[in-house]
Amino acid sequence: MKAVILDYKSLSPHDLSTDELFSIPFDWETFDTTLPGETSKRIEGADIILTNKVVINKELLSDNPAIKLIIILATGTNNVDLETAKELEIPVCNVVDYSTESVAQHTFACLLMLSRRLRDYDKSVRNNSWSASPFFCLLDFTIEDLSGKTLGIIGYGAIGKRVHELAEAFNMNVIISESVVPGSSSQKDRVALDELLSVSDVVSIHSPLSPYTKDLMNQEKLKLMKNSALLINMGRGGIINEDDLLGALTVGTIKGAALDVLSAEPPAKSHPLIQNQPDNLLITPHVAWASRQSRQRLADQVVEILKNFQTGNLINRVNG
C-alpha cells in the first residue's frame, strides 16, 4: 500500500521518534509541505493519505478511487470533505486529546505573562531601567495575582476542563459558559455567556469554530467585560472579531488579551492585529498545542490508527 504524508513538516518531526511509524510496511512518501495545486498529483495512486491542514475536497476524493483511509493529523476535521468521503466509503480518522496538557499550560503561560507584566519588566531590564533604579526592585508596572480572580471558560471540552483544574490550583474562582448553540439545554452548573463576560476577570476561550461561535466576541460582547479583564483565545481565530478586539484594546474596553490563533493563518503582514499590535496584546503563532510531548502523542496515536486499520479495525473515525 502507498501511504502519503502531505505536510509532514507541520509536525516539526526533527525532535520526535517516528521509527515505529515508518516501520509499518507501507510504501511511504512524505512531503514537507503541499500547495493546493500540488495535492492532486501527490495523492495519485495513494491508498492512505495523512494530512494536517492540506485540503482534501470532493473533487480530489472523487478522482482518486484507490484511497482506503484518510488520517487527519489534528483534531479539527474541516479540511476534509467528510460527507463525500462517507458516500465513497472512505473512512476518515483524526487524532484526539493529544494536546490537552500543552494547550492548558500555554493558556496559563500567556495569562501569567499578562498579569505579571513579564514582557514589560523584561524590556525594563534590557533597556537598563532597573540598573538606573534607586531601589533594589523596579515597580513601574502593576502586578496582579491570579488567586481570588474569577476565570470564565467558554468551551468546556478536555482542554477547558484541564484549564479549570489548573485555575483551581491558583485559587481562582471558575465559572463555565452555557453552550451558545441555540436550543441547547441549560445546565445547572453553567452561566449565561453575558453573565460570564460581565463578572469574569479572565475569559478563556477553548471552543471550536462553528456558525454559532463565529465572531462570538464582537464589540457588543467585549463591552460587557470589565475594563480590568483579560481575554485569552486558544480556540480558533474566527471566534473573536479582530477589528473589534483591536478597538477594545486601544481604547481600554478591556485590559489585555492573549491569542494563539488568528482568523487567517499564517497572517498577512497587513493583518490589523499584526500591523497595529498594541502593547497589551500578546500573540503566539498557533503553538499552544505543539509541545514536544504533545506532538509525540500525536505521532503515537497515528501509529495506533494505522495498526488497527491493518487488522480490519478502525479507531477515531469521524465520518460514520
Q: Pick the catalytic residue: 162, 236, 295, 297?
A: 236
Q: What is the CATH number of domain 100-283?
A: 3.40.50.720
Domain 2-98+292-310 superfamily per CATH: NAD(P)-binding Rossmann-like Domain (3.40.50.720)
Report d(CA 205, CA 110) in Å as an integer. 13
Give domain limits for the chain: 2-98+292-310, 100-283
Contact partners, residue 86, CB within 8 Å, separation at least 6? 319, 320
185: Cβ contacts below 8 Å, ≥ 6 apart: none
**Candidate list 42, 119, 190, 286, residue with the active-site label:** 286
Alpha-helical regions (H) of 211-317: 219-222, 242-251, 272-275, 292-310
Residue 220 is a catalytic residue: no
Q: 286 catalytic, yes or no?
A: yes
pTM of the shown model: 0.91
101 in active site: no
Residue 90 has a CB neighbour count (10 Å cut-off) of 21
Per-residue pLDDT tens listing for the chain (320 residues): 999 999 999 999 999 999 999 999 999 999 999 999 999 999 999 999 999 999 999 999 999 999 999 999 999 898 999 999 999 999 999 999 999 999 999 999 999 999 999 999 999 999 999 999 999 999 999 999 999 999 999 999 999 999 999 999 999 999 999 999 888 877 889 999 999 999 999 999 999 889 999 999 999 999 999 999 999 999 999 999 999 999 999 999 999 999 999 999 999 999 999 999 999 999 999 999 999 999 999 999 999 999 999 999 999 999 98
